[in-house]
Amino acid sequence: MSAAVIARFALFFTLTGLLTVLSHIYLYRRIFRDTSGHPVWRKAGLGAMVALCLLMLGSRLLARVLPADAVLNLATLGWTWMGVSIYLLLAFFTLGGARWLARRSRSWRAVKSNPGASPPAPPPISEERRQFLARATAGGAALVTGGFVGYGAWRAFHPPVINRVAVRLPGLPKALDGFTLVQMSDIHVGPVIQRRFMDAVVAQCNALKPDLVCITGDLVDGSVPELGHAVSALSQLRSRHGTFFVTGNHEYYSGDEEWAEALERMGLSVLRNRHVRIGEPSASFDLVGVDDWAAERSGYPRRYDLTQALAGREPERAAVLLAHQPSNWREASKAGMGLQLSGHTHGGQFFPFTLAVSALWEHDAGHFQENGSHLYVSRGTGFWGPPVRVNAPPEIVQVTLLS
């Protein structure tokens, strides 16, 4: 790993660590300090916030020294608390903003009714009233957070939805009209997503009776020894033409070379900047796979190389490109890729990040078409971080190719 990559990671973890500490200080003040003056309540709250903050900051270290069962439980607690804390912060900011606007509105109305007068001074607030408002705000934030996180956790662990799309692929032989691909993406097998989840999604895919299965990156968050058993469920996938995989950015964090070798042993074909012919000699198309786009700017030796992937390909043939990120779609379409299957964005995963991702990514989720070329960006089959899915349900995509 290059010095630039190490520096980038160090900056990222420093900033996220600082934000984590500041967030827990704020939550302690709003939930515990402001709602009661009782020393036992405040000490218990301080202890809980310190423990949860340390859990979030030290999760990687704990994973190295604790047994697997303990790691699973702590990871579930830590990631769930991350989702809870995010919604608590949003709820407090929203309710606090509403109170501020209400005060400003009263002041504005008073000035408007008496233009020559100075804005009235805010009335003094008794300690009892201040505490009542703090408790009401904390209670409201807890109710809102419980609703969002409860629904989001149910949606995250519930079976992914099956989204079906038909794509007219330029150059596809008529004999392959109706050929079906099933795409999974961004499963993020790790401390929380384990073998039981994988067995369930494999059963869902097999029930669709696909001609071919594609996994477009970010399959894992951990090493082969840690996650090999859970990931080996993929060896049970059944399709006429096999299962194909391309790397995502998280594979680079987890050991891309080791995982490529492990997946090949499990019976998956790993496409690293290369293409293969799918079908019979008289009726076939090219399946092209590239390494993740992020590796290009992160200094990894194996990186996105569409030119290499297309080397020796007959340009007039129909082609489907597997690329983890939708970043280079227009260039790929100019190179003859009639369909690109991608993921990476998670569709934002949960509100309000769904809005942020929609603003940052031109192609954030779903089916896009331009000049006869198609792109499908999956919201992901699993989840990363908080086990929460709100307004961005996990999905398995069934693509039917039309000639």
359 Cβ contact list (under 8 Å, min separation 6): none
pLDDT tens over the chain, length 403 residues? 556 667 777 887 889 899 999 999 999 999 999 999 999 999 999 999 999 999 888 876 666 666 767 777 888 898 999 999 999 999 999 988 887 787 777 767 766 666 665 666 666 667 888 899 999 999 999 999 999 999 999 999 999 999 999 999 999 999 999 999 999 999 999 989 999 999 999 999 999 999 999 999 999 999 999 999 999 999 999 999 999 999 999 999 899 999 999 999 999 999 999 999 999 988 999 999 999 988 766 666 778 999 999 999 999 999 999 999 998 999 999 999 999 999 999 999 999 999 999 999 999 999 999 999 999 999 999 999 999 999 999 999 999 999 9
Length of the chain (residues): 403
Residue-level pLDDT at 111: 63
C-alpha to C-alpha distances, 99 to 30, 70, 316, 344, 383, nearest whole angstrom: 15, 42, 63, 38, 35
Q: What is the pLDDT of residue 259?
A: 97
pLDDT at 116: 61
The one-letter amino acid at 250: H
- In terms of phi and psi (left: phi > 0; alpha: psi -120 to 50; beta: otherwise), the region of 209 is left
Query: How much is the pLDDT for 294?
Result: 80
The listed CATH number (3.40.50.300, 3.60.21.10, 3.40.640.10, 3.90.1150.10) that belongs to domain 162-402: 3.60.21.10
The residues spanned by each domain of the chain are: 3-155, 162-402
- Whose CA is closest to 183, among 244, 228, 231, 241? 244
